[in-house]
Amino acid sequence: MFHKKISVYIISGFLGSGKTTVLLKMIEELQKKKLKPGIILNELGDTNVESHLFKKEKVFELLNGCICCTIQDDLKETMQQFLIENEKEPVDVLLIEGTGVANPLEIKEVLLSIPFIDYFELISIITLVDASHFLDYQSIFSSSREVRKLLSEQLASANVIILNKTDLVPISQLEKIKVKLTDNVGAEKPVFLAKYGEIESEKLFEKRMQTVSINKNSLHNDNEGHHHHANIQAIKIEDLPKFHSKKLENWLKQLPKEVLRGKGVVEIEGENKLFNFQFASGKTHFTGLHSKNITKPVIILIGMNINRKQIQQSYDRYFN
């Protein structure tokens, strides 16, 4: 029986590069065009503190792992479930946001495998790059081999690259970043500069993936890649007090450099609502939530070789 394939976009990028911001913009654009999106969200930890942003959408959450390795089987099950539910409530586009440490090639493999290749059409792999940290992440002096390898994988698999957070770097440094990026990906791969993930919708939704036929020999099968981020983990802090926003910001800023990303839901002194916070590139942003029943307060910290005891002691000194 003939069926129209569901268009799929994979949104990739290292921790804190702005993936969720772009995902939300894509959802908004699809809604303007009267197209119904389906969404797969993946988190390293057991809590997704951003699920409230997608209350009105058809969302599947994959927690406690990374789509590209430890829960790849869960991705297949999720997509099977998607197909079943799609019979009752069809979607036009599927948006997959991996964790900040996902290798998109592994997700692509699932989409190109039987039976999914008959139901889904991969349109583009969109990779975001944090301009404010790119040079540090590329340096052998300030990053690990794991991080450099992962970034290389994400850039290599991209059909289009969004160099995001360009407002956080001076023009002279931006030129160095563009040169380094071109050295990594070549001059042919499209790179668009952005602030706050702002990019023309036509560029975001353009079909960039060539039609692919199944060829087992062409599939990525490097088992080493499945463990490339074994030392990246998420720490969850619960039973939180009400915070003074500036004090929380200062604590996040002084955390060890191994902490690459922070996010969560917190109560702020003097406010009668919860706030979502995002910590990346040394900056913290708070967004007020409309309902206090969205989730209980929680802080999630993600990083490389994090010393859990050190983080807990730092938190206790600061807030107890």
CATH no., domain 6-227 = 3.40.50.300
Between 303 and 174, the more confident residue is 174
pLDDT above 90 (res 296): no
Pairwise CA distance, residues 256 & 277, whole Å: 19
191-193 vs 160-164, strand pairing mode: parallel
Q: Where are the domains of the chain?
A: 6-227, 232-319
**114-140 exposure pattern, b = at least 16 Cβ within 10 A, e = fewer:** eebbebbbbbbbbbbbbbbbbbebbee
Residue at token pair 């297949």: 76
pLDDT at 52: 66
Task: Say whether the peptide bond before residue 115 is cis (omega within 30 degrees of 0).
Answer: yes
Q: Which helix H or strand E contains 146, and what residues bound it? A: helix 145-157
The pLDDT > 70 percentage for the chain reads 83
List all residues 6 or more positions away from 293 whose beta carbon is below 8 Å from its beta carbon.
none
Q: Whose CA is closest to 152, among 287, 143, 50?
A: 143
SS3 272: coil
Q: Which of 208-212, 230-234, 252-256, 295-299 has the highest mean pLDDT?
A: 252-256
Rounded CA separation 261/266 (Å):
16
The pLDDT of residue 220: 41
Cα gap 67→80, rounded to integer Å: 15
| Per-residue pLDDT, 9 | 97
What element of type H or E holds 19?
Answer: helix 19-32
Non-local CB neighbours of 302 within 8 Å, separated by 6+ positions: 15, 44, 45, 100, 232, 233, 234, 235, 259, 260, 261, 262
More confident residue, 19 or 147: 19
Per the DSSP assignment, residues forming a β-bridge with 287 are: 276
pLDDT of residue 177: 95
Tell me the average pLDDT of the chain.
Answer: 83
Distances (CA, A) of 10 to 47, 140, 160, 161: 21, 29, 11, 12
Residue 247 has pLDDT above 90, yes or no: yes
The span from the first CA to the last CA of the chain, in angstroms, equals 63
Extract the tokens encoding 271.
Answer: 């406010």
pLDDT of residue 51: 64
User: Residue 222: what pLDDT?
Assistant: 39
Domain 232-319 has CATH 3.30.2320.80: no
**pLDDT, position 217:** 37
pLDDT in tens, 51-100: 667 767 777 776 665 555 555 677 888 888 888 888 888 899 999 998 77
Mean pLDDT computed over 278-293: 80
Does residue 111 or residue 213 have the better pLDDT? 111
- pTM (2 d.p.): 0.75
Rounded to an integer, the average pLDDT of 161-175 is 95
> What average pLDDT does the segment 128-154 reach?
87
Q: Say which residue the tokens 């994979």 belong to.
A: 10
pLDDT above 90: percentage of residues in the chain: 40
pLDDT of residue 130: 94
Please return the burial class of 63, using the count of CB atoms within 10 Å of its CB with bins 0-12, 13-18 and 19+. middle
- Rounded mean pLDDT, 121-133: 94
Looking at residues 238-257, what average pLDDT do you find? Answer: 92
